[in-house]
Amino acid sequence: MDGAVRENTHQRVKKGGASGYLTIDLTALVRNYDRLAAETAPARVAAVVKADAYGLGANRVAARLYAHGCRHFFVAQFAEALSLRPQLTRDATIFVLNGLQPGNELACADEGIVPVINSLEQLQQWAGAAVNLNRRLPAVLQFDTGMSRLGVPPQERSAVAAMLRTCGMVDIQFVMSHLASADETLSEQNGSQLAELRRIAAEFPEFEVCFANSGGIFLGEAYHGVLARPGIALYGGAPTDGRPNPMEPVVKLDVAVVQTRTVPAGALVGYGGAHIVVAETRLATIAAGYADGLPRSLSDRGAVYCDGIRLPIVGRVSMDSITVDISSLPEGRLHLGGLVEVLGSSQTLEDIARDAGTISYEILTGLGHRYERQYR
């Protein structure tokens, strides 16, 4: 074994005794924010930090973006807003996309958290809380423009408008809607959602509009409104399918080798003996599996990398480990404790998502909790 390589590999093994290292580059995150801000200017850019900032750590991500000037943060659930609230000063607004759950009204008002109102019923709930507290309460009003998921449906629009005219207790900050196919530039759904949003904006001319997610930002100015809501693009994921990714990678994942071996032709690898090697093969077992967010659908499909060389996954992905073929590496290059790259310069989020039959979002949000996290 080459001494320089050994030393280099050992330097890369970090302190905490973990078997995998997730590096989160907060300076790349900030550059992505700037890139999106440049694309949407003069509209402002919020940060979607739901699901623990897509798995990267909502507190760290939000604090860094706040320091960089971001003042609007979206989470999905009220509990997420509650845990983020103490991390940010009151000039930062936290919005809850899933809206108001019955029973949360007082806590929501107390903490200064802004619910996204998705129905007439939620508007009534929030107005009722405002009356009880005898003060106006802020909210965002979401309309369904064709996704049938969240937001005031078309048949409730006039009742919502009537209620806003009569009850002055809810202070609508802006109206919003969400695109279902923003990552597909050619989808006709984008244009029809935009047309529906324009009809809504005409019905509620007193309010400004918040529309674009990551993909929507790159659909053009018509989609920007006054505030964009990117998530995946901040974290380095590609905003648009089938186009070069304009974002910088934020996440790097390296996993340690826990054993290497050479097996003869005919050897069975992994659970179920699902893989039979055809010729003598050098294998390495690495210390991450489906419990660490590497989907079982990568069995006999995906790969990891070392020095830019592709090391195919052989056999099934286990809970805590994966076996890879290292025959194409120089002998001795990988040994116990050495690291292979799962995400990084050789393999993007989109690469691994494609091999797993899923999307970058699911890979990112699934990255497990056993990795040692390092923020840069």
Ligand X SMILES: *Cc1c(COP(=O)(O)O)cnc(C)c1O
Binding site for ligand X (CB under 6 A): 48, 50, 97, 178, 213-215, 229-233
CA distance 187 to 110: 42
Q: Which of 14, 33, 223, 271 is catalytic?
A: 271
What residue type is 159 in one-letter code? Answer: A
Nearer to ligand X, 214 or 299 (CB): 214
Q: Which of 14, 15, 21, 50 is catalytic?
A: 50
CA distance 127 to 163: 9
- To ligand X, the closest distance from the beta carbon of 214 in angstroms equals 3
CA distance 372 to 336: 18
- To ligand X, the closest distance from the beta carbon of 314 in angstroms equals 33
15 catalytically annotated: no
- To ligand X, the closest distance from the beta carbon of 7 in angstroms equals 40
Taking alpha carbons only, the member of 91, 94, 78, 83 closest to residue 46 is 94
* Omega within 30 of 0 (cis) for the link into 154: no
At 187, list the tokens.
């989808």
Name the closest residue to ligand X (Cβ): 231
- To ligand X, the closest distance from the beta carbon of 136 in angstroms equals 24
Nearer to ligand X, 24 or 326 (CB): 24
Nearer to ligand X, 232 or 349 (CB): 232
Nearer to ligand X, 233 or 314 (CB): 233
DSSP reduced 3-state for 283:
strand
Taking alpha carbons only, the member of 106, 20, 32, 75 closest to residue 341 is 20
Taking alpha carbons only, the member of 221, 219, 253 closest to residue 236 is 253
Nearer to ligand X, 224 or 229 (CB): 229
CA atoms 115, 116, 119, 123: torsion sign: positive
Taking alpha carbons only, the member of 82, 145, 89 closest to residue 118 is 145
Nearer to ligand X, 97 or 201 (CB): 97
Helix (H) or strand (E) holding 95: strand 93-96
**By the 8 A CB rule, do 375 and 17 touch?**
no
Report CA 325 to chain centroid distance, whole Å.
Answer: 30
271 catalytically annotated: yes
Catalytic positions are 50, 271
